Amino acid sequence: MQRMTRRQLTLAAAALGTLSGVAPVRAADPTVAVGFFFPGAPIHRPQLLEALALIDRSPAFFSWFIAWANQLDVTATLPDFAALDLLADLGITPMVTWEPWDPLAGIDQPFFAPERIAGGHFDDYVRYWAENVAAWGKPIYLRVFHELNGTWYPWGIHNDPKDIVDAWRYLHMRFRDAGARNVRWVWCLDATLGDADLRALYPGDAYVDWLGLDVYNWGEVRPDVGWRSFGEIVGPVYGEVVSIADKPLMIAETASVEEGGDKAEWITTAYATLTEAFPKVAAINWFNDVTNGADWRVDTSAPSLEAFRAAIAAPDMQGPLT
């Protein structure tokens, strides 16, 4: 693999033409697409460059979060096509986690209830997104109602599963009606499956392109959970998830803390055993941020960063997000 120095990536910031020379690594018979999340990127080019320098390669896809609302205006957040174009010029596929809520307003947000979404209360906003994404035309992944089997978002399992399914299908149909055939839909669960009826939450094969799973090792940050390897988290739920539909599986978010074990070893083992232990996994995305008292960044220590760079340089981690 041709490695990129921080200096090379910093110099690339001078112009988009230079940026477009940073190409994803390709290998023979790749199997898994590597993704990355980094706060501020790709909306802000310096943060994107910082992310690429950090991991020392251009990933197959880059993820970020866009909420439907902020404190100033409901449904004020629109597609950032400059960011989409930037990624496309780099050969990186965008994945947007599109969140129907105001992130600063807590869990109880009846204004964004799934039945209101399915009832067309946000038609103008959804139509704007659908038509503009269709016009943009390049591949884009949308992850809506992520971790919908949890209790920590307004669209969680405290809702009637039928309302969630109806809302999902409504969004999908609005994009289909706008001609947005370039969108791929990611239906994503939290790895702590709980008691949710997963099949009741599944919109149907015609409305889903990828299954998703969010996988976190909280270690001693949450003593009630403790240190668990990637395999110990995914192993008990993998079969149940992939039995829902014959779709590729994406590890849509994953990360580990340092507290409680060897983070570098956790990373190495997770990526090295992925294709053999969990063959339906076709993509894996690292969540590089600090949230809820946990530091998920790959560079929390030198061994952690070294392990991550080595893991994503492996030949079977060079797949495109198709």
pLDDT at 71 over 80: no
Residue-level pLDDT at 321: 87
Residue-level pLDDT at 74: 57
CA 246: distance to chain centroid? 20
Mean pLDDT throughout 52-79?
Answer: 84
Rounded Cα gap, residues 66 and 241, in angstroms: 26
Residue-level pLDDT at 3: 41
pLDDT at 215 over 80: yes
What does the pLDDT look like over 159-214, one tens digit per residue?
Answer: 999 999 999 999 999 999 999 999 999 999 999 988 889 999 999 999 999 999 99
Confidence of residue 78 (pLDDT cuts 50, 70, 90): confident
Q: Domain residue spans in the chain?
A: 30-317
pLDDT at 304 over 60: yes
Residue 237: CB atoms within 10 Å: 17
Please name the fold of domain 30-317.
Answer: TIM Barrel (3.20.20)
Q: Characterize the bridge pairing of strands 290-291 and 294-295.
A: antiparallel
What does the pLDDT look like over 240-296, one tens digit per residue?
Answer: 999 999 999 999 999 999 999 999 999 999 999 999 999 999 999 999 999 999 999
**CB 38, CB 50: distance < 8 Å:** yes
Least confident of 18-27, 80-89, 221-230: 18-27
Structure token digits, residue 69: 């609302």
Which residue's structure tokens are 């994009």? Answer: 175
Secondary structure tally for the chain: helices H, strands E = 12, 10
The gap between the terminal CA atoms of the chain, to the nearest Å, is 21
What does the pLDDT look like over 10-39, one tens digit per residue?
Answer: 333 332 333 333 333 333 456 899 999 999
CB neighbour burial string for 51-80, b if at least 16 within 10 angstroms, e if fewer: bbbbbbbbbbbbbbebbbbeeeeebebebe
Dihedral over Cα of 296, 298, 301, 304: its sign: positive
pLDDT at 313 over 80: yes
State if pTM tops 0.75: yes
Residue-level pLDDT at 17: 34
pLDDT at 131 over 80: yes
Instruction: State the Rg of the chain over Cα.
Output: 19
* Cross-strand bridge partners of residue 287: 37
DSSP state of 175: H
